[in-house]
Amino acid sequence: SYVLTQAPSVSVAPGQTARITCGGSNIGTKRVNWYQQKAGQAPELVVYDDRDRPSGIPERFSGSNSENTATLTISRVEGGDEADYHCQVWDGDSDHWVFGGGTKLTVL
């Protein structure tokens, strides 16, 4: 089955740029979605189809995907961005969703 790998944690100072990666075999051929989950809340979609943002998501959130790594980039990080971030793909071969293990973003 398809596997997605995320680092458990990333730390960044306010105003800096956070990069959260999601590794998978030829993930560049799949469409990657990113969900933000704040403490005690349900996940919220922040980037879909590698790089598109739902309505209401700030432009500070951007995504990219190439070869074996997808990246969620958060520019000008704010305290309110502190959350767990989960990458997700749909594996068309199995018709299954696959999630990465999640990355906890800490704002120093």
Partner 1 sequence: QAQLVHSGAEVKKPGASVRVSCKASGYTFTGFYMHWVRQAPGQGLEWLGWINPDTGDTTYAQKFRGRVTMTRDTSIDTAYLELSSLSSDDTAIYYCARGRIDRSDFWGQGTLVTVSS
Q: Which of 57, 69, 82, 99 binds partner 1 (CB under 8 A)?
A: 99
Burial degree of 85 (CB within 10 A; 0-12, 13-18, 19+):
buried
Task: Tell me the closest approach of the beta carbon of residue 35 to partner 1, in angstroms.
Answer: 8
Rank residues 23 and 101 by Cβ distance to partner 1 and give the closer one: 101
Question: Do residues 46 and 53 touch, judged by C-beta distance below 8 A?
Answer: yes
**Which residues, other chains included, contact 16 with Cβ-Cβ below 8 Å and sequence gap of 6+?**
76, 77
In whole angstroms, give the CA distance from residue 108 to residue 97.
33
Which of positions 4-63 make contact with partner 1 (CB under 8 A)?
A: 31, 33, 35, 41-45, 48-49, 54
Sign of the alpha-carbon torsion through 52, 32, 66, 22:
positive
Q: Which of 9, 17, 29, 94 binds partner 1 (CB under 8 A)?
A: 94
Rank residues 13 and 35 by Cβ distance to partner 1 and give the closer one: 35
Binding site for partner 1 (CB under 8 A): 1, 31, 33, 35, 41-45, 48-49, 54, 86, 88-90, 94-102
